[in-house]
Amino acid sequence: MAITGSGSLAAFFLSVCVFTAELLLEGATETVTVESQNLATDNVSVIEGETATISCRVRNNDDSVIQLLNPNRQTIYFRDVRPLKDSRFQLVNFSDNELRVSLSNVSLSDEGRYVCQLYTDPPQEAYADITVLVPPGSPLIESRENVVSEGNETELTCMAVGSKPAASIRWIKGDEELIGETTFEEMSDRTFTVTSSVKFPVTKEDDGVLVDCIVDHPAVKELVAHKYLEVLYKPEVKIVVTYPEGLTREGDNLDLMCIAEGKPHPHEINWLRVDKDVPSHAVVTGSDLYIENLNKSFNGTYRCIASNAVGEAYEDYILYVYDSRAGKGATPKIDHAVIGGVVAVVMFVILCTLIILGRYFARHKGTYFTHEAKGADDAVDADTAIINAEGGHSNTDEKKEYYI
């Protein structure tokens, strides 16, 4: 009976333990989502290969036990003891108010939600999400063609491989920002491959211009790939008169030089006379045209044509042969505007002078006749009027006449 009693007692205690465990388990399950005001932690972003630090902080701790669990809810640290056999986890600090743990050489597999747990009644939990950043590899620019002719369209493609999160790509051509078309592809290891393409027409001014593919990502400073554009363009032609310096006169010599620049360099330079033949004694040496002993029959348009693999271009020179004495001993050029101004000033002065003199003469002539008439109104005849005039002949010496 004792043995039987002992077995019954053992079974009773076993059932009680199981029931208690079930209650504890049920209580723990119910508190998974409970956020405590006494327990705090922080989310962490870390670059792959570097070290992440998780801090479980307790306010007003009453000697409750702190532990840290991994995303699989395996205990990493129970107080200051590490049950998990992963030496990358190291204790940084342990006290009543904090459990701080570092994780070195972080990889993508370490990403997830870590649990700070405080054994209280009921238990409390706080969550720290570790986000692993994976920087992209060095970007690479590829072009549809290495060399493009002016007027044609070129296409450039830039690729950033193996980033998390997906990188962004920008294009800069010289000082101008270009808008590209971007695609994203998620790889099996949860990283992304980003591809961006731009298309644009080119001109000869684009030759040697730098195009940048700029990759932006939170894990690194901007990464840049460069490419210099190589553009082929037809020649640019310019005719320079090396002799004579002034007018082209009969009997003079004429020396013209044709300057042509292009990419590739012009392989052919030709001279011709529009609508007529070049004079028979004209000499063409490379890009130079030389004509001796000019005469008026040589008048016309002379054209220099340069060509390369892209195309051809030309410039014209119009020759006009002057008389042999043209431009020699010519009278100095007269500034008619200055002469006209001087003449106008002189005429104005003369006009003003005539007006002043006219007014002066008019005034003095009137005074003279008035004096002659005084005392003549009562005279019987002309002789008496002369005798009776004021002052008479006796005052003749005092009267003065002025003529100008």
| Percent of the chain topping pLDDT 70 | 78
Cβ-contact 259, 240 below 8 angstroms: yes
The residues, ordered by sequence, that sit 6+ positions from 80 with a Cβ below 8 Å of its Cβ are 91, 94, 99
Give the DSSP per-residue string, 253-278.
-EEEEEEEEEESPPSEEEEEETTBPP
Report d(CA 136, CA 193) in Å as an integer: 8
Poorest-pLDDT segment among 17-26, 61-70, 158-167, 344-353: 17-26
| Of 171, 160, 262, residue with least CA distance to 209 | 171
Report d(CA 74, CA 110) in Å as an integer: 13
Torsions phi, psi of 149, nearest 5? -85, 150
pLDDT of residue 328: 67
Cβ-contact 65, 118 below 8 angstroms: yes
pTM of the shown model: 0.64
| Of 155, 133, 143, 109, residue with least CA distance to 216 | 133
Report d(CA 139, CA 220) in Å as an integer: 13
pLDDT of residue 359: 79
- Output 389 or 14, whichever has higher pLDDT: 389
Report d(CA 269, CA 258) in Å as an integer: 8
- Write down all domains in the chain, each with its CATH number in brackets: 38-133 (2.60.40.10), 140-229 (2.60.40.10), 233-319 (2.60.40.10)
Q: pLDDT-based confidence at 27, cuts 50/70/90?
A: very low
* pLDDT, tens digit (0-9, with 9 covering 90-100), for 377-387: 555 555 555 55
Report d(CA 217, CA 212) in Å as an integer: 16
* pLDDT, tens digit (0-9, with 9 covering 90-100), for 252-311: 999 999 999 999 999 999 999 999 999 999 999 999 999 999 999 999 999 999 999 999
Cβ-contact 38, 59 below 8 angstroms: yes
- Is the bond preceding 201 in cis, omega lying within 30 degrees of 0? no
Torsions phi, psi of 330, nearest 5? -70, 140
The residues, ordered by sequence, that sit 6+ positions from 300 with a Cβ below 8 Å of its Cβ are 273, 274, 275, 276, 318, 319
- Output 76 or 16, whichever has higher pLDDT: 76
Torsions phi, psi of 399, nearest 5? -85, 135
The answer to whether residue 341 scores a pLDDT higher than 60 is yes
The answer to whether residue 369 scores a pLDDT higher than 90 is no
- Output 363 or 124, whichever has higher pLDDT: 124
- Give per-residue burial for 276-296: e unless 16+ CB within 10 Å, then b: eebbeebeeeebbbbbeebee
Report d(CA 288, CA 256) in Å as an integer: 6
Torsions phi, psi of 186, nearest 5? -85, 130
SS3 content of the chain, % helix, strand, coil (to 5): 20, 40, 35
Cβ-contact 155, 133 below 8 angstroms: no
Q: Which residue has the tokens 């399950």?
A: 29
> DSSP state, 26?
H
Report d(CA 235, CA 312) in Å as an integer: 6
Report d(CA 37, CA 17) in Å as an integer: 32
User: What average pLDDT does range 47-51 have in this prediction?
Assistant: 97
Report d(CA 46, CA 364) in Å as an integer: 117
Residues paired with residue 318 on neighbouring β-strands, in sequence order: 301
